[in-house]
């Protein structure tokens, strides 16, 4: 039996983490670094981390994910990783010739206290870094936060190292998209283009992790925010930062550095959050919302009214990354659903506060928890079943154990393919999410209902 040792009886746990709903910082940083054009992500630690992070991102995207590592040995772990870093940079620039190397750290180099800025400076001074080439870094200790923190730290590093200002305000908005798939980033760019708004989005993994099959492999694909674009972010009108945990740090850094106005928004998943995103584009860029976007919104509303009877009052369990879940829960309430268990593995009180606010009236007794795991979620489900579970691939074991309809959402999705192509953000993304939820619930009903209640038409 699936997950047979998970019982309804809940025993206290303060030290043992079981089936985490998060992973560690560097994978988020690696992902963010891939969103810079011509960038080689570099993991300063022992090579196992880098292998795991590349593998897991590849399993999620079914795309090449290239990164280098300092390949620490025991000696380096004791005496410091300077020689490894120097050798790595020498090799990286000679063999793979990136425009920029984005270094992140692991628990190993963090515990030994390697001073990365010193190493980078020394590498510039010693001519290890060829002229015109760049190296940036973010400290990403695995024992702090989660992969969301790592993403946030590397995105912030793009600002710290690269954001510049030449004084004349450019007719563009910065857009920090949060920890979302390339399809979502592409969708955000499409919406901005429809609105006639120039944006500089960073990081941007579209055209990096959703590549066409052409028979030609390119280590640095055409996608990614360019270095000149990143430099120009100090001259933008404003920064739209999507997602408290993934994007606010970079936006704040930009404001601190160049006083670029911030708009803090949630990820545009579902009706309300997308409305607010569109509205922010409209207000900050001083443009009108075009008819084509109004129509997309109308189609979403039409779908909601068509499907409403099937969603109304349904109990849902949601697990995933904090920003993404905050937005998704709003969408579920717009569908009259009842998210009864809402969890994230990542720490951060804002999650509980914000989800609590969203669910206060509709689901006052919802269990909302940050820094928890799928084992806990499963136990609650055993005590009070749900009609639908939404989360990453690891939730499929719970879905099978409890015979519960399941929708894959977030990171990582290791057992299905199209999430890198189809968005979940924007009005169209919302329609896709509804489609998946409806399919999951109806397939379940068609499989499980008594034969006499097997319906032709829904």
Q: Is 24 an active-site residue?
A: no
The answer to whether residue 440 forms part of the interface with other proteins (CB under 8 A) is no
* Residue 72 binding other proteins, by CB under 8 A: yes
Angle at alpha carbon of residue 49, lines to 48 and 55, rounded to 5°: 90
394 binding other proteins? (CB under 8 A) = yes
Smaller CB distance to other proteins: residue 11 or 457? 11
User: Measured between alpha carbons, how far is 161 from 234 in angstroms, rounded to an integer?
Assistant: 12
From 101-109, 115-123, 157-165, 177-185, give the range in contact with other proteins by CB under 8 A.
101-109
Candidates 65, 119, 337, 441; binder of other proteins (CB under 8 A) is 65
> Closest CB to other proteins among 15 and 453?
15
Tell me if 265 sits within 8 A of 242, measured CB to CB: yes
Pairwise CA distance, residues 4 & 357, whole Å: 35
Binders of other proteins in range 226-245 (CB under 8 A): none
- Residue 152 as a binder of other proteins (CB under 8 A): the answer is no
Q: Report, in Å, the least distance between residue 311 CB and other proteins.
A: 30
Joined together, the tokens standing for residue 448 give 């499980």
Alpha helix locations (H) across 289-395? 291-311, 322-334, 349-359, 374-383
Touching other proteins, residues 329-368 (CB under 8 A): 345
Nearest 5°: phi and psi at 384? -155, 95
Binder of other proteins out of 125, 131, 217, 364 (CB under 8 A): 217
Provide the 10 A C-beta neighbour count for residue 350. 14
**CA 49 to CA 142: how far, in whole Å?**
10
Identify which range of 79-87, 156-164, 169-177, 356-364 contacts other proteins by CB under 8 A. 79-87
Contact residue for other proteins among 29, 32, 36, 92 (CB under 8 A):
92
Total of residues contacting other proteins (CB under 8 A): 83
Contact predicate 175/240, CB 8 Å: yes
101 is a catalytic site residue? no
Asked if residues 285 and 197 have their Cβ atoms less than 8 Å apart, the reply is yes
3 state DSSP class of 207: coil
Q: Which residues within the stretch 169-208 sit at the binding site for other proteins (CB under 8 A)?
A: none
Residue 74: other Cβ atoms inside 10 A: 8
Considering only residues 3, 194, 237, 442, which one is a binding residue for other proteins as defined by CB under 8 A?
3
Active-site annotation holder among 107, 159, 225, 355: 107
Write down the least CB distance from residue 181 to other proteins, Å: 16
Site for other proteins in 5-64 (CB under 8 A): 5, 7, 11-20, 22-27, 42, 45-49, 51-56, 58-59, 62-64
Please count the other Cβ atoms lying within 10 Å of the Cβ belonging to residue 46: 22
For helices 291-311 and 426-448, give the axis angle rounded to 10 degrees. Answer: 20
Token couple for 6: 């998970």
One of 89, 120, 254, 307 touching other proteins (CB under 8 A) = 89
Nearer to other proteins, 153 or 232 (CB): 153
Q: Which is nearer to other proteins, 61 or 311 (CB)?
A: 61
Is the distance from CB of 140 to CB of 150 less than 8 angstroms?
Answer: yes
Query: Which 257-316 positions form the footprint of other proteins (CB under 8 A)?
Result: none
* Residue 106 beta carbon to other proteins: minimum distance, rounded to whole angstroms: 7
149 part of the interface to other proteins, by CB under 8 A: no
SS3 59: helix
From 125, 143, 168, 364, residue interacting with other proteins (rule: CB under 8 A): 143
Select which of 111, 144, 289, 367 is catalytic. Answer: 111
Whole-number CA gyration radius for the chain: 23
How do 406-408 and 100-105 pair as beta strands? Answer: unpaired
Exposure of 351 in the CB half-sphere (CA atoms within 13 A): 25
Active site residues: 107, 111
């Amino acid at each position: 039996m699936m997950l047979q040792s998970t019982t309804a009886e809940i025993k206290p746990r303060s030290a043992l983490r079981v089936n985490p709903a998060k992973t560690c910082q560097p994978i988020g940083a690696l992902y963010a670094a891939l969103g810079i054009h011509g960038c080689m992500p570099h993991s300063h630690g022992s090579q196992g981390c880098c292998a795991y992070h590349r593998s897991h991102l590849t399993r999620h995207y079914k795309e090449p994910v290239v990164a280098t590592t300092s390949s620490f040995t025991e000696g380096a772990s004791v005496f410091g990783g300077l020689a490894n870093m120097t050798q790595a940079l020498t090799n990286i620039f000679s063999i793979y010739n990136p425009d920029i190397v984005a270094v992140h750290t692991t628990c190993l180099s963090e515990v030994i206290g390697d001073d990365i800025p010193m190493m980078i400076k020394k590498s510039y001074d010693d001519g290890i870094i060829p002229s015109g080439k760049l190296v940036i870094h973010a400290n990403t200790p695995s024992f702090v936060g989660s992969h969301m923190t790592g993403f946030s730290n590397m995105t912030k590093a793009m600002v710290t190292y690269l954001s510049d200002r030449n004084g004349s305000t450019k007719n563009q908005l910065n857009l920090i998209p949060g920890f979302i798939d390339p399809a979502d980033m592409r969708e955000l760019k499409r919406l901005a283009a429809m609105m006639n708004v120039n944006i500089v989005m960073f990081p941007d993994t579209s055209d990096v992790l959703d590549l066409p099959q052409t028979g030609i492999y390119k280590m640095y694909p055409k996608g990614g925010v360019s270095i000149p674009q990143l430099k120009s972010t100090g001259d933008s009108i404003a920064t739209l930062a999507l997602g408290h945990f993934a994007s606010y740090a970079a936006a704040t850094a930009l404001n601190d550095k160049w006083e670029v106005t911030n708009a803090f928004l949630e990820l545009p998943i579902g009706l309300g959050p997308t409305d607010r995103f569109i509205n922010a584009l409209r207000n900050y860029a001083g443009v009108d919302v075009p008819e084509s976007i109004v129509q997309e919104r109308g189609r979403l509303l039409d779908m909601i009214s068509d499907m409403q009877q099937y969603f109304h009052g349904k109990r849902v369990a949601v697990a995933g990354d904090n920003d993404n879940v905050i937005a998704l829960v709003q969408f579920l309430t717009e569908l009259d659903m009842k998210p009864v268990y809402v969890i994230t593995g990542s720490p951060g009180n804002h999650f509980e506060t914000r989800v609590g606010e969203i669910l206060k009236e509709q689901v006052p007794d919802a269990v909302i928890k940050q820094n928890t795991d799928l084992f806990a979620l499963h136990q609650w489900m055993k005590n009070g079943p749900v009609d639908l579970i939404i989360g990453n691939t690891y939730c499929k074991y719970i879905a099978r154990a409890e015979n519960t309809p399941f929708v894959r959402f977030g990171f990582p999705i290791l057992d299905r393919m199209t999430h890198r192509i189809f968005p979940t953000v924007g009005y169209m993304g919302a329609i896709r999410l509804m489609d998946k939820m409806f399919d999951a619930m109806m397939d379940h009903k068609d499989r499980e209902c008594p034969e006499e209640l097997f319906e032709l038409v829904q």
